[in-house]
Amino acid sequence: MRIGLLVTAAAALGMMNVASAQTAAPATPAAAPAATTFVVRFKVKAGKNAEFERAMAKIQAALVSAEPGNIYYDLYLPGAGSQTYVLIEHYRNADAVAAHGKDPNTRQMVADIRDLLDGAMAQAVTAKPLILVSSKP
């Protein structure tokens, strides 16, 4: 089963590993919950951090009203001086993930960051889907 995470952006960013990871799901739908959380890493060119952060802040602001199914879309930097950012995004359900892939803000974000990435998108961006097992009450 293919997921909707950045459907348009996935091809542009070369994040086919996200879709491929979902293809090998178990046969029964009950045994194959959809991934609703993703860890995405972006390797940014030296000197482009501020521009990248502005582009990400732009989509974060847009998601507030454009995607009610997005629970969080948080950007992290592992340490001072790092050129690799970590985005943790979480959605209410599989429909919300699909909506994110179709949202024009997602397409715009891809266009905004394309020239800020260190290398080809397929190498500079990686995404890993996570399936919720449990959470605090």
Please tell me whether residue 70 adopts helix, strand or coil conformation. strand
- Phi, psi dihedral angles at 88 (to 5 degrees): -115, 120
Task: Map out the domains of the chain as residue ranges.
Answer: 7-25+35-130
CATH of domain 7-25+35-130: 3.30.70.100
Beta-bridged to residue 39, according to DSSP, are 88, 128
Residue pLDDT, tens place only, 22-75: 434 444 455 568 899 999 999 999 999 999 999 999 999 999 999 999 999 999
- In the prediction, which pLDDT does 127 show? 96
Stated pTM of the model: 0.77
- In the prediction, which pLDDT does 135 show? 85
